[in-house]
Structure 1
Amino acid sequence: MNRYCFQLMVDPAHLDEYKRRHAAVWPEMLAALSAAGWHNYSLFVRDDGLLIGYFESPGTLAEAQEAMAGTDVNARWQAEMAPFFAGLEGSPDTGFVQLTEVFHLEDQLRDAAASGIRTPTSDNESAAS
């Protein structure tokens, strides 16, 4: 599963309404995201409007975006969400800045175990056996 993280900027003047809309996303939109392979999807926002999104998908980012672009509900959702963002050209789902992952705990623990390096986690597991 591939991990994707992105950044957008919500206009702070619209932040409360943005949060309200995301507290009850349309069921049709939720179903479309799931069917398009967007898993473990989360959005985090700071009081100044900095928005960080994270999701996992079996394919590439472009494939995940294309799968959603092919749905009617996504076009309607993006049109409704666009006014909430500051300095955005295009729709929110294509205008985000992708962030590069530089560390993932489970990957490094797995790599360490494969290399025969003992970690506190592997020491605890063998002590419990």
Structure 2
Amino acid sequence: MKRIGSLIGLRAEHIAEYKRVHAAVWPDVLKQIGSSNIRNYTIFLREPENLLFSYFEYVGDDLDGDMAKMAADPVTQEWWTVCMPMQKQLETAGEGEWWASMEEVFHQP
């Protein structure tokens, strides 16, 4: 299992809408997350900085392949067209990153 953490900004004018859509994530999006070997996927919001922190556990053996399958899924792509305009990429995100990756520095099993 691999633990993944990432960070992105949330535009202040979209906070309520972001919470609303995530209170009722589309069933096919949830199904795709599960079939991509992702477990315990959680998103936290930190206000007033308006930062989103995501955490999930990857239980497969081909992270890049599973992420590519998720990215190719039409329903997931549609979901992202709803969510991405509400988000704000961090200036420090790496090349090709939407959500900025984070280094795990501590874990208590």
For the aligned residue pairs, the C-alpha RMSD in angstroms reads: 1.8
Q: Deviations over 1:15-53 (max 9, x none)?
A: 111011000000111111111111110000012310000
Where structure 1 has 5 or more consecutive residues not aligned to the other structure, the ranges are: 107-129
Query: Higher helix proportion, which one?
Result: 1
User: Could you tell me whether the CA contact under 8 Å between 2:44 and 2:53 is conserved in 1?
Assistant: yes
Number of aligned positions between the proteins = 102
CA distance in 2, matches of 1:72, 1:51: 24
Normalising to structure 1: TM-score of the pair?
0.72
Larger radius of gyration: 1
SS of 1:30's equivalent in the other structure is helix
Identity of aligned residues (%): 34
1:88-114 Cα distance to aligned partner (Å, 9 max, x none): 79xxxx5011110011112xxxxxxxx
Please give the per-residue CA displacement for 1:60-110, whole angstroms capped at 9, x wherever unaligned: 543342121121111101111111012479xxxx5011110011112xxxx
| Structure 2 length-normalised TM | 0.84
Show the counterpart of 2:84. 82
Match of 2:108 among 91, 105, 111: 105
Q: Say which is worse superposed, 60-69 or 79-88, in terms of deviation.
A: 60-69
Amino acid at match of 1:71: D
Structure 2: distance between partners of 1:15 and 1:61: 30
Unaligned runs of 5+ in 2: 92-96
Cα distance change, pair 103–87 in 1 and its aligned pair in 2 (3 A): closer
